[in-house]
Structure 1
Amino acid sequence: MKFPEPHYVDTNGIRMAVYEQGPKNGVAVVMCHGFPELGYSWRHQLPAVAGAGFRAIAPDQRGYGNTGGPKGPDAVPLYDIAHLTDDLAGMLDALGIDKAVFAGHDWGGMVTWQMALRHPDRVAGVIGVNTPFIPRGPIDPIAGMRMVFGEDMYIVYFQKFGIAEKIFDADAARSMRFWYRKSAMKLTDFDALPADQKNLSFLKSFDTDESTWLGTQLLNAEELDYYTKAFEKSGFEGGINWYRNFTRNWQLTEGQTEKIDVPCLMISAADDIVLRPEMTAGMENHIADLEKHVIADCGHWTQSEKPDELNALMTDWLKRRFG
């Protein structure tokens, strides 16, 4: 099925591009993308969820694709967790939806879990794809990452405004080919590497010849063209600004209750070296109604790497819990 054209809603000061399939009277399932992704990143899930009888919705979120967002150093705080979750609540208002099940991958997963805490009256259920619920830590997360991994770790590197986006904006197609690759190794193989090869300094590889990049390309020519045009339109600044709010988000969530009282599904990928399956340990302390699964032989880009397995887990759970 062809990916739908967007329609637009006004929410929280932005004009959000929304992609929909399925019956308008079905239970709404909102799919939230991460970096560097788009609503299009759910292209395999949208028709499957719609075909199961649900109203499947995938927006381009703040800073991305046909939504875009504010630019410049002064706009960085406009990408904090309050804005990202308020965007989605406002989208529901504009669509006339009271509550939705929220599914999120990568950064979209962080937003989805926070939706359940910040807007609990709008959330019927949560599906985490790779991204577990992570309770607020005792120290500033950027300080912690810097301490463990050093300055070259990609999230720490992203903190410098204007640097990473300039690199990626120079050739959006090359940037997409760089990011969208199937993991070259199992998690156990990664763990066996020397410490200096495990500091998540991905961007060091970006300057090397493409023929030396690890892993196989995930996007076909049509998909690469779609992503390339979208990021040529929006640039990478908005998406990277999400990372620049780790510290601000940590400050904003101080004292926040961390209990989620709706049905939740957690789907991990066995070989995601950043969002590792063992990170789901302890989620039960915050979520009473939790079901967990792990997709074997799958790296970070679960929606593209293992679409059939992900679709089956999502639709089975949705039909059991909300059908």
Structure 2
Amino acid sequence: MFDPADFPEPTRVSVNGVELEVFEAGRHHAGEPIVLCHGWPEHAFSWRYQVPALAAAGHHVIVPNQRGYGNSSRPSEVTDYDIEHLSGDLIALLDHYGYDDATFVGHDWGAMVVWGLTLLHPHRVSKVINLSLPYQERGERPWLEFMEEVLGGDFYFVHFNRQPGVADAVLEENTSRFLRNLYRKNVPLREPEPGMVMINLANAETPLGDPLMSDRELAVFVSAFESSGFTGTINWYRNLDRNWHLLADVDPIIRQPALMIYGDRDAVARSEDLTAFVPHVEVVSLDCGHWIQHEKPEETNRAILRWLEQQSAV
């Protein structure tokens, strides 16, 4: 298990009208920059196993707590969390460090941001590495409308939007229990329960499967969310249809070299036509669930470093 004391100390960086809490390793301008983008409900600390490995390979590793998370700014307007703002923060971070472009790595919602960033600012992204969430085709109808019809009003993306504030309050009231119950591995398959999955997790007395991390590691996440609350982070979901509209006129093809890492037991669906939108993609599958870089840190690092080495040899 990782000792939280070994994670880099943060700095606060003013970018794009907000302040981001940023963790770094490696030397500035000494190697190719690589930006690690966490998902929900995560934290820069989610990349604790990747940071030292990437720095040792010569990269300048930049790991922000994105807006809404940790000690980064938490704007009050929902629209301040759309893809233009989230990608704008990352572009401004590159400007702050004086980089023209970087390799961007995303997990879960972080992957959604990296895909969107690459579409909106293609010249600032040299390579793409995403975990769990593949490229999401824009489709004919707004994402939320489609999800509500197919998955129903209790699906958590829909619930977050249609019942604002309800889940936020339950998660904040049960922060420690929610995160303990969420961050699990080897969770047995079972029939979905009625109700909204995240609220159910926050209220469940007994966690399923095995703990994903040590108590000290989990405490980093619990402490961060007890301080920040969940509303800013859930506001990312409340911009799903706004993002659909914002991406209407961009070229939908990702032309950069890309690595897509799936967990074989992840509930997130794989893309059936990934190469149609990401033609230069390599796909790797690991024997794990959703929390790929936590569950299989060494295998994740090997896959990323091997692929980066191959790309530098091209």
User: What interval of TM-score do these two structures reach, taking the shorter chain for normalisation?
Assistant: over 0.9
2:236 corresponds in structure 1 to: 242
Mapping of residues 13-28 of structure 1, within 5 Å: 13-24=17-28, 25-28=30-33
Distance of 1:107 and 1:313 partners within structure 2? 20
Which of 196, 199, 210 is 1:201 aligned to?
Answer: 196
Pair 1:3-2:11 in alignment: no
Amino acid corresponding to residue 272 of structure 2 in structure 1: A
Amino acid corresponding to residue 205 of structure 1 in structure 2: N
Distance of 1:51 and 1:200 partners within structure 2? 45
Pair 1:175-2:164 in alignment: no
SS of aligned partner of 1:245: helix
Distance of 1:98 and 1:295 partners within structure 2? 32
Question: Residues 206, 100 of structure 1: CA spacing in aligned structure 2 closer, same or farther, 3 A cutoff?
Answer: same
Q: CA deviation at 1:205?
A: 2.5
Mapping of residues 1-323 of structure 1, within 5 Å: 2-24=6-28, 25-71=30-76, 75-159=77-161, 160-185=163-188, 193=191, 197=192, 201-203=196-198, 205-206=200-201, 208-211=203-206, 213-273=207-267, 275-276=268-269, 279-296=270-287, 298-322=288-312
Distance of 2:100 and 2:249 partners within structure 1? 27
Distance of 1:294 and 1:207 partners within structure 2? 30
Deviations 1:121-180 (A, max 9, x none): 110000011111112021121111111121111111111221111111113222211221
Amino acid corresponding to residue 244 of structure 2 in structure 1: W
Contact 1:153 1:201 in 2 (8 A): yes
Distance of 1:99 and 1:209 partners within structure 2? 44
- Give 5+ residue unaligned stretches, structure 1: none
Greater alpha carbon shift after TM alignment, 32-41 vs 134-143: 134-143
Identical columns (%): 40
Distance of 1:205 and 1:221 partners within structure 2? 22
Aligned-residue RMSD, C-alpha: 1.7
Deviations 1:17-71 (A, max 9, x none): 1111113211011010110011111011111111111111110001000113112
Distance of 1:209 and 1:154 partners within structure 2? 16
Q: TM-score w.r.t. structure 2 length?
A: 0.93
Contact 1:52 1:319 in 2 (8 A): no
Question: Residues 209, 118 of structure 1: CA spacing in aligned structure 2 closer, same or farther, 3 A cutoff?
Answer: closer
Amino acid corresponding to residue 36 of structure 2 in structure 1: M
Contact 1:158 1:243 in 2 (8 A): yes
Q: CA deviation at 1:254?
A: 1.2
Amino acid corresponding to residue 176 of structure 1 in structure 2: L
Distance of 1:200 and 1:105 partners within structure 2? 26
Distance of 2:265 and 2:307 partners within structure 1? 23
Q: TM-score w.r.t. structure 1 length?
A: 0.90
SS of aligned partner of 2:105: strand
Question: Residues 209, 252 of structure 1: CA spacing in aligned structure 2 closer, same or farther, 3 A cutoff?
Answer: closer
SS of aligned partner of 2:282: strand
Distance of 2:205 and 2:56 partners within structure 1? 38
Amino acid corresponding to residue 214 of structure 1 in structure 2: L
Contact 1:64 1:234 in 2 (8 A): yes
Distance of 1:220 and 1:269 partners within structure 2? 21
Distance of 1:76 and 1:210 partners within structure 2? 32
Deviations 1:63-106 (A, max 9, x none): 000113112xxx00010000000010001111111110000000
Paired residues, what number?
307
Amino acid corresponding to residue 205 of structure 2 in structure 1: E
Distance of 2:83 and 2:203 partners within structure 1? 34
Distance of 1:238 and 1:246 partners within structure 2? 14
- Give 5+ residue unaligned stretches, structure 2: none
Contact 2:177 2:202 in 1 (8 A): no
SS of aligned partner of 1:280: coil
Q: CA deviation at 1:206?
A: 2.8
SS of aligned partner of 1:128: strand
Distance of 1:98 and 1:219 partners within structure 2? 36
